[in-house]
């Protein structure tokens, strides 16, 4: 570990190693410690507008599309997301590009000086670093992704000008519990009085507590998919977005849109959010931004491989449906590794019918699900063609050796699984 006297010369990897050991727990929900340090740093507010995005699934794609459209419209953007795949810098982006190491190290040094005797988690250090960088660089809009929950997440320290909740499903149950209505209220904790709120799931697919909380706190404008806006597929494969009035009738001109690579629910939510944001977005910028938006590790195609971090039942249902709608000449095989704080059995139950062969990788760390347990779960689903490997790299070696050009391979189950394959992504191409 680097000493206090060496901090000024420390590189980013040295800083990150240090941050991992500074706080007794990896997750420590609550804002009081963070608020004190943010006050000392002068980052309790940010320049420009702030859009905060929470949800179980769909946060990343929503942030990516917001960022892409706003940049196409000529706005300077800052994005804070987590976790990262290969480089920590992916978490803090300006105008679509990860910030340099030195910018993050300088922010860490300022935080270290300001925190004094206040202990901060790894995630809290990173969140404050993003706030400092956005404060210094002054983007027109800062888009903040909530990492866990909503109300008590570090990113929720900043009051947003617009808040989005995409979906609510069971995940992180050891922290958030298994009561969906309560989880919905926690995620709705990003809402504020007198700001617009957009809910990216239809009634019946998201706990009623999300909209109820928006009403309770006095949000200025509440939009929900299927109620204040909707989308539908056209005969030619394109899709249309519509805003609806209080009677469920079309209140604005229908937008005919080209197919997008990211989930259409989230694309429709982005359009609704931008309409309520006050930004001047031309139709051309909207089209270009939605079409060009992409997201690492979310239905990411590299040759015959598809990479997705899907690790909960809600995401598994989506991926299974998407794959089954995609034609494939050969077999469908899976490379999977998961963490033990997920609903592993339910995810595998959903995915099992989609694949003929399974390559199971043992992930590293205390939270990793034993690969042999994944094999047992799959055996219960009558999946007999399952092999276990000590690392993602060995599982990938076997997949490349034993599958052909007509086979489709899904890599899923965790950011760690996808990151292990992305490290050697050039091997995936023909």
What integer pLDDT is reported at residue 7 of this predicted model? 83
SS3 (DSSP) at 178 = coil
Q: How far apart are CA 160 and CA 150, in angstroms?
A: 12
Question: What's the pLDDT at 255?
Answer: 80
User: CA 119 to CA 19: how far, in whole Å?
Assistant: 10
Cβ(36)–Cβ(128) below 8 Å = no
Reported pTM: 0.91
230, 244 contact by CB (below 8 A):
yes
Confidence (pLDDT) at 327:
86
What is the structure's pLDDT at 340? 87
Q: Which two tokens stand for residue 324?
A: 């089954």
Those residues of the chain that have pLDDT short of 70 are 1-5, 24-29, 170-177, 246-253
Beta carbons of 405 and 304 less than 8 angstroms apart: yes
Can you tell me the distance from the alpha carbon of 370 to that of 2, in angstroms, rounded to the nearest whole number? 33
Q: Which domains does the chain have, with CATH numbers?
A: 4-292 (3.40.1190.10), 300-423 (3.90.190.20)
pLDDT at 30: 73
pLDDT of residue 179: 86
User: Given the DSSP bridges, would you call strands 386-389 and 255-257 parallel, antiparallel or unpaired?
Assistant: unpaired
Q: How far is it, in rounded angstroms, from Cα 403 to Cα 329?
A: 12
């Amino acid at each position: 570990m680097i000493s206090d006297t060496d901090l000024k010369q420390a590189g980013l990897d040295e800083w990150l190693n240090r941050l991992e050991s500074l706080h007794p727990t990896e997750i420590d929900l609550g804002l009081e410690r963070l608020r004190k340090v943010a006050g000392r740093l002068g980052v309790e507010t940010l320049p420009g507008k702030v859009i905060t995005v929470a949800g179980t699934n769909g946060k990343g794609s929503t942030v990516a599309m917001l960022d892409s459209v706003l940049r196409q419209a000529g706005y300077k953007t800052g994005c804070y997301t987590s976790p990262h795949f290969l480089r920590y810098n992916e978490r803090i982006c300006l105008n679509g590009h990860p910030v340099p190491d030195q910018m993050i190290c300088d922010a860490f040094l300022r935080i270290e000086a300001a925190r004094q005797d206040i202990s901060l988690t790894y995630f809290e250090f990173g969140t404050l670093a993003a706030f400092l960088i956005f404060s210094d660089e002054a983007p027109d809009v800062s888009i903040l992704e909530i990492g866990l929950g909503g109300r008590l997440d570090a990113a929720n320290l900043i009051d947003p000008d617009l808040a989005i909740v995409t979906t609510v499903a069971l995940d992180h149950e050891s922290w958030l519990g298994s009561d969906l209505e309560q989880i919905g209220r926690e995620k709705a904790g990003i809402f504020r009085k007198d700001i617009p709120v957009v809910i990216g799931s239809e009634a019946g697919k998201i706990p009623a507590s999300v909209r109820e909380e928006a009403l309770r706190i006095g949000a200025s404008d509440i939009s929900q998919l299927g109620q204040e806006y909707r989308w539908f597929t056209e005969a030619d494969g394109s899709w249309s977005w519509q805003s609806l009035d209080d009677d469920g009738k079309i209140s604005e001109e229908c937008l005919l849109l080209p197919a997008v690579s990211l989930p259409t629910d989230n694309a429709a939510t982005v359009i609704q959010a931008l309409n309520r944001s006050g930004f001047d977005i031309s139709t051309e910028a909207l089209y270009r931004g939605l079409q060009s938006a992409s997201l690492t590790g979310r239905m990411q195609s590299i040759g015959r491989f598809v990479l997705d971090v899907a690790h909960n039942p809600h995401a598994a249902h989506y991926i299974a449906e998407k794959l089954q709608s995609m034609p494939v000449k050969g077999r469908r095989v899976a490379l999977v590794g998961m963490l033990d704080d997920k609903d592993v059995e339910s995810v595998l139950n959903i995915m099992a019918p989609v694949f003929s062969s399974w390559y199971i990788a043992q992930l590293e760390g205390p939270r990793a699900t034993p690969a042999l347990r994944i094999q047992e779960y799959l055996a219960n689903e009558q999946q007999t063609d399952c092999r276990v490997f000590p690392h993602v790299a060995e599982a990938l070696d076997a997949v490349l050796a034993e599958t052909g050009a007509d086979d489709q391979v899904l890599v899923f189950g965790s950011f760690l699984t996808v990151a292990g394959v992305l490290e050697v992504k050039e091997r995936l191409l023909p």
